[in-house]
Structures are given as C-alpha cells and as structure tokens.
Amino acid sequence: MRLKIIRLNCVKSTNNEAIKLIQKNKLQPTMIIAKLQTKGRGTMGKKWVSKSGNIFTSIYFEINPKKINFRQYANLNPYIIKKILLKYTDFKVKIKWPNDLLIKKKKICGILQEVIEQRSRFFLIIGIGLNTLVTPRYKSFNAAALSDFSKKKIKNKIILEDIANIYEKFISNINKYSALNFKKYYKG
C-alpha cells in the first residue's frame, strides 16, 4: 500500500494537519512532511521544539482496534524508527518509554500517537519529530541531533523514504500479522 505524500512548508503540527485531512474524509494512508512546525506537540501536552533542518512528519492510516490495540502500536513505533537510526550510528539507540529515542542519554526523537474516529472508523496518527541535523535546546532534558553521533552524511530525504517504505510494508501486511510479529522483525 503506497502512502500518499503531502509536503508542506510550515504547519503548527503535522499531527494537526493529519486530523484535518481525516475530518475532511481524506482517508487514504498518508504521510505529511513539513519543513517546519511552529507548535509541535508531544505526549501529555508537552511541547516539541522544532528546529528547521530536522524531520517533522506524521503518518496516518485506518486501524481495527479489535485486532491490534493502541498499546501494541505504541510499543512498535519506537522499534521501527530505531531500526532506521541504527543505519546512521554505531552508538546504542535506547527507547525511553513510551515514545522517546535516546543516544547517550540525549533525546533525538519523539513519537506522538493519536487515534481519532471518523464515521465509525478509527485512524492511527503517528507523529515523528526527529532531530537529524540541528540540536534543539530544552531546559528540562538533554537533546541532540543524529548528526552528532554519525560518521555518515545525514540526508533527511533518505530517512523519510526509509520511514515511508517501512510503514508502507506495515500497512500492506497489517491484516496478516499482529504488531507483535512486526516488533520481533524490527527488533532484530
């Protein structure tokens, strides 16, 4: 299943854009990519500091909550992104529950999941904020950029293609496998 790709210059939040599209009945699995977010969101209402040059994307698709519950997706998504990040660094990438990825105790990625209902159908929105090139400054915790831990040239376009490819594979097989089967694959 191919994702529809929507590229935007500046948005408040890519997850907010996904919600708007779903509410307008644009229900095809979609990946929204923005060059900049002005009000990126994290879990529990926390702010995601979005620095130009990093990755801000949301993917949404229909789910069947009776087959795979929200918690299974929450467990799976960090493993998917971790697998991609390991292509760029020799350092250990740790998952800090529920949605952060760290290298050397510094946050490089946050994932925000939301489920919304539209006409008795359920859609999962996976928002990914990934510090690839620019390190944001936070008062409450240490952050870093992937480029700080990589000897390879970081190209956002390639990372976004990797994210799209993995989620296309996942969406295409969502009815065949449980999230736990995918977790085993992505962990390896």
Over residues 96-122, the mean pLDDT reads 92
Residues in Cβ contact with 42 at an 8 Å cutoff, skipping those fewer than 6 apart:
48, 99, 110, 112, 129
Range of the domain at 21: 4-187
What's the rounded mean pLDDT across residues 156-174? Answer: 91
Q: What percent of the chain has pLDDT over 90?
A: 66
Nearest in space to 15 (alpha carbons), one of 112, 80, 99 = 112
Mean pLDDT of the chain: 88
For the beta carbon of residue 168, count every other beta carbon within 10 angstroms.
17
Round to whole Å and give the CA distance between 108 and 58.
Answer: 16
User: How much is the average pLDDT of 134-160?
Assistant: 91
More confident residue, 62 or 137: 62
In this prediction, residue 184 carries a pLDDT of 57
Which of these, 55, 93, 88, lies nearest to 154 by C-alpha position?
Answer: 88
Of 6-10, 78-82, 127-131, the poorest mean pLDDT is in 78-82
Determine if the peptide bond prior to 98 is cis (ω within 30°).
Answer: yes
Q: Tell me the whole-structure pTM to 2 decimals.
A: 0.91
Q: What is the domain count for the chain? A: 1
Average pLDDT over residues 51-73: 86
Q: What is the mean pLDDT of residues 34-38?
A: 94
CATH number (domain holding residue 123):
3.30.930.10
Task: Give residue 188's pLDDT band: very low, low, confident or very high (50, 70, 90).
Answer: very low
Q: Name the 3-class secondary structure at 8.
A: strand
45 confidence band (pLDDT: 50, 70, 90):
low
